[in-house]
Structures are given as structure tokens and as C-alpha cells.
Amino acid sequence: MSNTGMNMRGKITFYEEKNFQGRSYECMNDCSDMTSNLSRCQSCRVESGCFMVYDRSNYMGNQYFMKRGEYSDSMSMMGMRDCIKSCRQFRMKIYERENFGGQSHEMMEDCDNIMDRYRMNDCQSCNVMDGHWLMYEQAQYRGKMMYMRPGEYKSFRDMGMSNQKFMSMRRIMDSYY
């Protein structure tokens, strides 16, 4: 069983000009090349989720972390020499069993309790596609935690976390610390 969480997708709207003027492009997925949608991007609104934006195509160049809010002059706010050319979201897929088995769910937002949200009583492997995450042994971000960076983690037990359950997950963002 799989759940991609369409209702959990982030949403960002890019504008060609400063102060949300000119043509706009609404994005709810990763975008490796904005120039196919807009000639340039100089302001944006993040309505939900978190994004990394880049001043070059294919997620290259200077990058900036954007959370919910309005960015009326993205170039001066971020110190970018050029406009935004690509973006991606925080993404992680969690699995009920080792080796990417059992139920799976793709996450783009924090989850304070996988049992309540997904009806999963355990998470034993994951694939962190984008962003950095903290996984906690108890719901509500409590107990022992483990730092996860992009990569495939097919067995937490093989990482020295035997008898360890992870019941909540949180993206690492500057607003927590």
C-alpha cells in the first residue's frame, strides 16, 4: 500500500517581477528548469511546505531555504546574482519494514505521529530524497533521535539502532532552533 500524500504537497508561486508582478507560475513539485515556465523569477510566495531554490537550473549554484511566507524581492533577500532557476521540496519516503518493505508513505511535511497519520506502528527503513530530517523514537518529537541526510537507509538495525522504533519525523529547519 502506498500513499503519496497529494494533500501534503508544498505550494510555491513564482513571479517574473519584484513585488509579485508580471506573469506567474504555480509549482507544487520539484522544478529543474524554471525558464521553461517564466523568463525570469524575481519574487515568490510560499503558501505551504518548504523549498530549496537555486539560481541555476538543475539544482545548481547558490541555494536558499524558503519556508511559508512572501519574498517580494528574492534576489536582494537571498544575495543571488541571478534570479531563481530551479526549486525542490523536502521529501522522504518511509517504510514499515526493513529493505523498503511493507506500507510506504511519502512525506514532505513534519509528522508528529505516524500511527495516527498513516496507521503505521513502526518505521524500519526510509529513503531521504531531499532535505535533512530528524526521526524520533516517540510521537510528538520525543525520545531518542536520529539525524537523516539524503540517502537510502534500508535497515536502521544495521546502523546500530536495534530495537529502535521511529514514531515521528521532523524536517531540520532554522525555525526550530
pLDDT of residue 54: 87
pLDDT of the residue at 108: 84
Instruction: Flag whether pLDDT at 3 surpasses 70.
Output: no
Residue 130 has phi, psi (to 5 degrees) of -150, 145
What is the distance, to the nearest Å, from the Cα of residue 71 to the centroid of all Cα atoms in its chain?
Answer: 19
> pLDDT for 116-132, tens place per residue?
999 998 899 999 988 88
Choice between 48 and 169, residue whose per-residue pLDDT is larger: 169
Cell readout for 87 is: 526549486
pLDDT classification of 91: cutoffs 50, 70, 90: confident
49 has pLDDT over 60: yes
104-to-4, 98, 120, 131, 161 alpha-carbon distances in Å: 9, 11, 9, 18, 20
pLDDT computed for residue 176 by the predictor: 42
pLDDT for res 7: 45
> What gap in Å lies between CA 168 and CA 173, rounded to an integer?
16
- Residue 157's pLDDT is 85
Quickly list H helices, 47-90.
74-78
Quickly state the pLDDT bin for 95 (edges 50, 70, 90): very high
Pure H helices in 23-139: 74-78, 114-118
The candidate with the shortest Cα–Cα distance to 154, out of 64, 84, 93, is 93
Residue 81 confidence class, pLDDT cut points 50, 70, 90: low
Counting runs of H as helices and runs of E as strands, what totals does the chain give? 2, 15
Question: If we measure between CA atoms, which residue out of 63, 71, 68, 62 comes closest to residue 41?
Answer: 71
Nearest in space to 45 (alpha carbons), one of 83, 79, 19, 78:
19
